[in-house]
Amino acid sequence: MAVTARQFMPFLQFRWTIFESSAIANSYRRFEPEAALFWKENNEQYFDQVFDVAIISCTLHYLTEPQTLLNFLSTKSRYLLIMRLPLVDDPEDIPTIQRPSDGIYATVNAQWPAWFLSRSRFDDCLKEVGDVIFRWTTPTEIWQFEGEPIMLEGVLLKTKVDSGWVNSRDIIEIGSSDSRMVSSEHSTSR
């Protein structure tokens, strides 16, 4: 993603930090000089600054408690860019095991827990972390679940950081395509 951003948005500079599992971060760190990327472990202690945007792509539904990460990142980034999320019109989140059928993951028989997230619960979660700027679906990425096609979705939010809602440092110290737009909400901070 960083290569694409740098290629097509040359008028901007990007300081791009990838937060990954410790195993991946430690393994990939060797690529930092050539990639102009930084790898860090998923740990609150490494979020030592406020970012302009936190990109959460194809990740939330693999966490035991997705809202925990959203709540944290909403205090550490001005915008949240959530991409490639499987939402279902079900009142409850649905736990599954995901098994890739081809590609690199299939070759090592990889499998892992994954949620199909309840749209209504996810929308309630979003209200806690910021204001939706716009949402979209990704027609090029469709998963099949129990015979139904689930088109992955995305959303861009403005968080409470710098909006006058909260002081993020205080919170941490206390507690510490074919894109197709489908809806649009207000974009200004409160």
Partner 1 sequence: MAMSRSETFFRKANWEQAQNESQGYEATELVAALTARAELERPWAQVKDNPYLQGREIELLNALQTIALLSGNSQTLDVADVGGVTDIWQ
Q: Which of residues 30-59 bind partner 1 (CB under 8 A)?
A: 31, 34-37, 41-44, 47, 49-59
* Structure tokens given for 36: 């102009």
- For position 116 contacting partner 1 by CB under 8 A, the verdict is yes
Of positions 113, 169, 182, 185, contacts partner 1 by CB under 8 A: 113
The angle formed by the CA atoms of residues 1, 74 and 78, to the nearest 5 degrees, is 65
- Whole-angstrom Cα distance, residue 161 to residue 163? 5
Distance CA 187, CA 190 (A): 9
Count the residues of the shown chain that bind partner 1, applying the rule CB under 8 A: 103
Q: Which of 48, 89, 108, 173 binds partner 1 (CB under 8 A)?
A: 108
Q: Is 182 in the site for partner 1 (CB under 8 A)?
A: no
Q: Which is nearer to partner 1, 109 or 183 (CB)?
A: 109
**Helix, strand, or coil (residue 12):** coil
- Choices 7-15, 121-129, 163-171; region in contact with partner 1 by CB under 8 A: 7-15
Q: Which of 47, 81, 76 is nearest to 167 (CA)?
A: 76
Out of 22, 123, 186, 190, name the contact with partner 1 by CB under 8 A: 22
Integer Cα distance of 118 and 86 in angstroms: 9
115 is a contact residue toward partner 1 (CB under 8 A): yes
Q: Taking the complex as a whole, how short is the minimal distance between the CB of residue 166 and partner 1, in angstroms?
A: 18
172 binds partner 1, rule: CB under 8 A: no
Rg (CA), the chain: 17
Contacts for 34 with CB less than 8 Å, ≥ 6 apart: none
Site string for partner 1, 136-165 (x = CB under 8 A): x-xxxx-xxxx-------x-x-x-------
Place of tokens 């968080």: 159
Is residue 166 within the footprint of partner 1 (CB under 8 A)?
Answer: no
| CB 173, min distance to partner 1, A | 18
Q: Which two tokens stand for residue 136?
A: 């979209």
* Region 73-92 residues binding partner 1, contact defined as CB under 8 A: 73, 76-79, 81, 83-84
Return the SS3 of 70.
Answer: helix
